[in-house]
Copies of this chain bind each other. A is one copy, B any other.
Amino acid sequence: MSIRKKNKGQLIVLSGPSGVGKSTVIAELLGMRPNIYFSISYTTRLPRVGEANGVNYHFVCHDEFERMIEQDELLEYAQYVGNYYGTSMKMIEEKLDAGIDVLLDIEVQGAAKVRRRCAEAVLIFIIPPSIEELSRRLYNRNTESEEVILGRLKKAREEYQEIPNYDYLVINEKISVAAGEISAILTAEACRTRNRKHLVKI
């Protein structure tokens, strides 16, 4: 038995409620594992203060987003608090084929769609230590009205119902621990027997 097959990259989906600190955890993770390709989503929502096009998101208008939907250019897309969010398919397939891991930061509807299209995708949900803590973080961010924050907390409770559909659950109490756990998950997934069969040489 001597099977030789090029390792494909892993598709990693990270979801979690707004305010949990996903972006900070992702930045820490990319520092630990620089060979992850972090897929930048397309969105129709407006940039927040400090956000830049092509860095946080590709910011596009509603018409352009609907054109991408019609031409089947998206791996997944979803509407969230009134805006479209989606992932372009092309770049992701290229990276995975080249053996590079691809990380998607997408919400629960999008994650469910990715799971249906790609059974081997690794789904990770990240939560705060408690909803009270999430509430504190959202108020401290000081960028949104009370009404928007209450909407996000309600949304968080709904999203929590989807946790059983995720493979892994990471609690963001300390950023370095959360990022370290995600890094360990990626290492472990690469060790799965099904991903290493080609390394068995008798």
With an 8 A cutoff between CB atoms, is A164 at the interface? yes
With an 8 A cutoff between CB atoms, is A168 at the interface? yes
If A168-B193, A188-B187 touch, whether A163 touches B201 (CB-CB below 8 Å) is no
With an 8 A cutoff between CB atoms, is A36 at the interface? no
Nearest B residue to A127, CB-CB: B200
Q: How large is the interface on A (under 10, 10 to 19, 20 to 34, 35 or more residues)?
A: 20 to 34
- Inter-chain CA distance A166–B170, complex, in Å, is 25
Interface residues of A in 150-182 (CB under 8 A from B): 157, 160, 163-164, 166-171, 180-181
Which of the residues B163, B183, B199, B201 comes within 8 Å of A131, measured between beta carbons? B201
A-B residue pairs, 9 tightest by C-beta: A188-B188, A184-B187, A184-B184, A169-B196, A185-B188, A130-B201, A168-B191, A169-B193, A184-B188
